[in-house]
Amino acid sequence: MVSGNSFGKVNCLDKPKPDLYVQKVNKMMRTSNASYRDMQLLHEIALTPHATQRDLSKRVGVALGLTNLMLRRLSNKGHIKIRNAKGRRIRYLITPQGILEKSRLTVEFIQYSLHLYRGIRRYLIEQLSDQQKLGRGRILLWGTDELAEIATLTIQGMGLELMGVVGDALGQTHFLGYPIRKIEEVPPEEYDCLVLAYLEPPRQVLCRLSELGIPLERITTLSQPRQSVPEWAPTGVAVHE
């Protein structure tokens, strides 16, 4: 839970300084994303060895140039073989070593996702329990992504009342059945606590809350101020103090 009196004291021109916990989790997520893309690429190659680089780029969701680099790296590691086919086409074949790597990455990613979910949920329960003790049981949620889904499940699991969802999701009007509104549209008396579903809330969000005069004690984030080390990190990620 964010502590203090009011966001009015926040200087919106200051450069934000992520806490150690956020830096470590972001590092884990970047590494996990790279492993996840490798896993996706190996999976697509195993399913469709005749797929072109452009096909693979679209399916994995990365730029064509990055797809080329990823394919070369997987080839250098012996996870795939690149073969010339008819009509100057290229085939990508997953090797037995690549099949093992795909299985390892799949298990690793599932473990990572579960530990990240549990860590965020446990921390949010602690923060919301403090709010609950103060009689703040009506929750307003800011966010519409996977972190917001974790927050929603946690709020509902604790028996708290989710009053609504706010955010700036382009082209999205509802989130888990709740209409998405602007924070400026929600009267302060409609909720007791605002949950920001971010590991590191964007500066523009904090500035908007400051302008609205929302007290800090009514705001909870998913960012953990304590210098604690996450329980688990993907293979090869060193977590340093």
Top CATH class of 30-108 equals mainly alpha
pTM score: 0.63
The larger pLDDT score, comparing residue 227 to residue 105, is at 105
Strand (E) or helix (H) holding 91: strand 90-94
Domains 7-26+125-221 and 30-108 share a fold: no
Domain boundaries, the chain: 7-26+125-221, 30-108
Top CATH class of 7-26+125-221 equals alpha beta
Average the pLDDT over each of 13-22, 161-170, 219-228 and give the range with the smallest value. Answer: 13-22
Q: Residues 92, 67: contact at Cβ < 8 Å?
A: no
- The answer on pLDDT for 157 being more than 90 is yes
Instruction: Kindly give, in sequence order, each residue whose CB lies less than 8 Å from that of residue 2, ignoring residues fewer than 6 positions away.
Output: 216, 217, 219, 220, 221
Tens digits of residue pLDDT in 66-116? 899 999 999 999 999 988 877 678 889 999 999 999 999 888 888 888 888
Q: Which residue has the tokens 């195993």?
A: 46
Task: Tell me the two tokens of residue 37.
Answer: 């893309």
Average pLDDT, the chain: 80
Tens digits of residue pLDDT in 158-198? 999 999 999 987 788 999 999 999 999 999 899 999 999 98
Type of residue at 209: L
Task: Tell me the two tokens of residue 177.
Answer: 């059945």
Of the chain, the end-to-end C-alpha distance in Å amounts to: 23
Please report the DSSP string for 155-212 in residue order: HHHTT-EEEEEE---TT--EETTEEEE-GGGS-GGG-SEEEE--SS--HHHHHHHHHH
Task: Tell me the two tokens of residue 79.
Answer: 């996870």
The angle formed by the CA atoms of residues 19, 117 and 210, to the nearest 5 degrees, is 45
Sheet with 138-142, side-by-side order of all strands: 174-175, 178-181, 161-166, 138-142, 193-196, 219-221
Tell me the average pLDDT across 137-162: 93
For residue 111, give the 3-state DSSP assignment: helix
Q: Residues 23, 31: contact at Cβ < 8 Å?
A: no
